[in-house]
């Protein structure tokens, strides 16, 4: 059950990421590129957790990957608010 | 160290949810409504992750904590496809 | 960007403005026709009354017709009337009253909303709203 949910979530992140990339294409607003990257990384994290099932000591690494995604989102917000 | 990571993820999700829902309130743009809800789901996912790993380690909350994230993403994708752009 | 005066516009009127009113021109045309429910007006007549160009008036009249706020009598030229059967009549009436009382608030609200959802998404992450 968990695998099924996790797979759906990974797909969800991927699809959202593609939408964000499209928004970046349409608007050239860097915020969308960064959100897209973050969502792709969140998808990657789900993939990683799947493969880490054989190596449980690697699991924490993949949670730092999730952190990276959120750090990118923070960076996007900071970037949006910097005086140009 | 990992705690700091979990907390940062949680705070960021909450922050995004707040900003997007506030933006929805001000502009009425429905895309912000769906994305705001998505980040609420991600925030709940992060909070439940902390609960699962740190507060109730003997209980496995894997499925329960994933459900808000799934719900949030489904709502986001619905909004991205359904709303006019 | 949330100036105190904007808070005084009721939520349902704000929602109506967000959904239907992008410019002051649209608002004035709508209120002109709302105020004269018995008369059919053409784009030329509207443009004369409101000192706006005829093409612009024709475009806005057509838009308002597409959203069912106006009914059209087809012809050469087409004439428009406010749709009395519109479910939004009450809100238009309220909007008319508020526009008379708080003209500046309404105008500033119209122009403070981004019409583009992507712009709105991006702007939501601006923490200080006074920046461009």
How high is the mean pLDDT in each 10-residue block of chain C (132 residues)?
60 82 90 91 91 89 88 89 89 93 90 79 81 44
pLDDT at residue C114 in the model: 63
Tokens of C82: 């406010």
Q: Which chain A residue lies closest to B34 (C-alpha atoms)?
A: A16
Give yes or no for B62 touching C (CB within 8 A): no
Q: What is the pLDDT of residues B3-56, one digit of tens each?
A: 888 999 999 999 999 999 998 887 778 899 999 999 999 999 999 999 988 888
CB contact under 8 A, C113 and B23: no
State the pTM of this model: 0.68
Which chain A residues touch C128 with a CB distance below 8 Å?
A: 81
Give yes or no for B83 touching C (CB within 8 A): yes
Residue ranges of the alpha helices (H) in chain C? 4-7, 11-20, 24-35, 43-50, 54-66, 89-101, 103-112, 117-124
Tell which residue, A19, A67, C126, C73, has the closest CA to residue B9.
Answer: A67
Give yes or no for A19 touching C (CB within 8 A): no
């Amino acid at each position: 059950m968990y695998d099924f949910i996790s797979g759906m979530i990974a797909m969800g992140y991927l699809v959202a990421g593609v939408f964000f990339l499209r928004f970046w294409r349409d608007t050239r607003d860097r915020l969308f590129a960064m959100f897209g990257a973050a969502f792709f990384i969140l998808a990657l994290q789900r993939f990683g957790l799947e493969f880490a099932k054989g190596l449980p000591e690697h699991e924490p690494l993949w949670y730092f990957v999730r952190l990276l995604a959120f750090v990118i989102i923070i960076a996007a917000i900071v970037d949006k608010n910097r005086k140009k | 160290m990992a705690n700091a990571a979990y907390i940062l993820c949680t705070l960021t999700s909450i922050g995004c949810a707040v900003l997007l829902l506030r933006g929805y309130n001000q502009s009425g743009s429905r895309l912000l409504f769906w994305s705001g809800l998505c980040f609420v789901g991600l925030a709940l996912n992060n909070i439940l992750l902390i609960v699962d790993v740190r507060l109730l380690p003997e209980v496995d909350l894997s499925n329960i904590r994933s459900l808000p994230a799934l719900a949030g993403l489904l709502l986001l994708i619905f909004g991205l496809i359904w709303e006019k752009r | 960007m949330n100036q105190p005066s904007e808070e005084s516009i009721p939520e349902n009127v704000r929602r109506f403005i967000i959904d239907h009113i992008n410019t002051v021109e649209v608002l004035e045309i709508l209120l002109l026709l709302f105020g004269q429910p018995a008369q059919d007006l053409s784009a030329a007549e509207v443009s004369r009354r409101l000192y706006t160009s005829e093409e612009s008036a024709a475009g806005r009249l057509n838009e308002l017709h597409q959203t069912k706020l106006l009914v059209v009598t087809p012809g050469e030229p087409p004439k428009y009337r406010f749709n009395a059967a519109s479910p939004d009549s009450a809100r238009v009436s309220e909007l008319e009253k508020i526009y008379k009382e708080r003209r500046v608030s309404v105008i500033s609200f119209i122009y403070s909303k981004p019409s583009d959802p992507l712009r709105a998404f991006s702007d939501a992450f601006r923490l200080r709203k006074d920046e461009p």
